[in-house]
Amino acid sequence: MLGTAFSNAQVTDLPDAFTSGGTVWFVRAGASLSRVSGDGVDATLDTWRSSLKKWTFNGDFKPLWGGSLSFGFDKTFGSSSAYWGMELGAAMRGYKAEAKWESIGRIELTDSHTDYHYSKKQNQTLNAYNVKLVPINIGYKFILNDMMAIDIHVGGFASYDFAGTFDTEYEESSFSVYSGNRKLGLEANSTSKHDSSDNSQKIGDLDNYTNYDFGAIGGLGFWFGHFNIDVCYQRGFISIFDVDDKFFNDNILLRLGYAF
């Protein structure tokens, strides 16, 4: 019983190295919410919006859920709660874009009419896997008591995509109903049509795709003993596609960690 109590105390108390100039090793894993920003997003939406000017358009770029896993260390500056550290791991990045065009109306004819509904859909999904290095991370732990601390940190990162896919989906459908014309002896009828296609490419086969990225990262964490919850925002500085209109990756990470 004494051994169990001692072990629990060691886990629920903050590591001594937080204020002793020592090194704390940790592992973190969690979810990521990745999206793209930049003038390339606006340019793409403008192109889609103007492609069928008389049709109703609805579309946007949306975030994509993923995951992350990393190992790292923090080393305090002497007895201060300030520290520097490094982190290495694997993560995901990407986005999802959805576009839909619709044309709904009625064509009036003599003693008859035709109701119609045309629609087109186009989806894009980029899902890439990378190795990520945080070569420098500077932070400060605000020690609340022997068990709890608030952790604020900023740094830089570099990543390289080693695998992933770019998936596209296209769907087109039409439906029309002709009311008929009794004077001409024409009966009511309806017609419909549906076409769809899917395509998946490896990121290595994409033209103008940039596998690497570097940028800034900042976060806020909370420690309870050796356990940690950390929320980070990551901003990439290199466009995902090497084109005139840029697509930058933004990533929000929610991670759970444990210090050894």
Kindly tell me if the per-residue pLDDT of 132 is higher than 50. Answer: yes
pLDDT in tens, 172-228: 999 999 888 777 777 888 999 999 999 999 999 999 999 999 999 999 999 999 999
Average pLDDT, the chain: 92
Any idea where the domains of the chain sit in the sequence? Answer: 24-259
Distance CA 44, CA 57 (A): 13
Token pair in block for residue 211: 């596998």
Backbone angles phi, psi at 43, to 5 degrees: -65, -40
**CB of 22 closer than 8 Å to CB of 14:** no
pTM of the model: 0.84
Kindly tell me if the per-residue pLDDT of 9 is higher than 60. Answer: no
Place of tokens 């932070």: 139
Distance CA 103, CA 116 (A): 8
* Secondary structure letter of residue 184 according to DSSP: T
pLDDT in tens, 15-50: 999 988 899 999 999 999 999 999 999 999 999 999
Cα dist from 76 to 18, 123, 219, 254, whole Å: 6, 47, 17, 24
Q: How many CB atoms lie within 10 A of CB 96?
A: 19
Q: Work out the percent of the chain whose per-residue pLDDT is above 90.
A: 83
Top pLDDT among 185 and 77 is at 77
Q: Report residue 224 CA to chain centroid gap.
A: 28
Token pair in block for residue 106: 């009625």
Q: Report residue 37 CA to chain centroid gap.
A: 11
Q: Which of these, 105, 99, 104, lies nearest to 51 by C-alpha position?
A: 99
Token pair in block for residue 152: 């604020």
pLDDT at 78: 87
pLDDT at 226: 96
**At residue 37, what is the residue type?**
S
Kindly tell me if the per-residue pLDDT of 6 is higher than 50. Answer: no
Distance CA 17, CA 26 (A): 12
Token pair in block for residue 234: 């990551």
Q: Which of these, 133, 129, 132, 251, lies nearest to 202 by C-alpha position?
A: 129
Token pair in block for residue 68: 């992350």
Return the bridge partners of 164, or none: 128
pLDDT at 8: 52
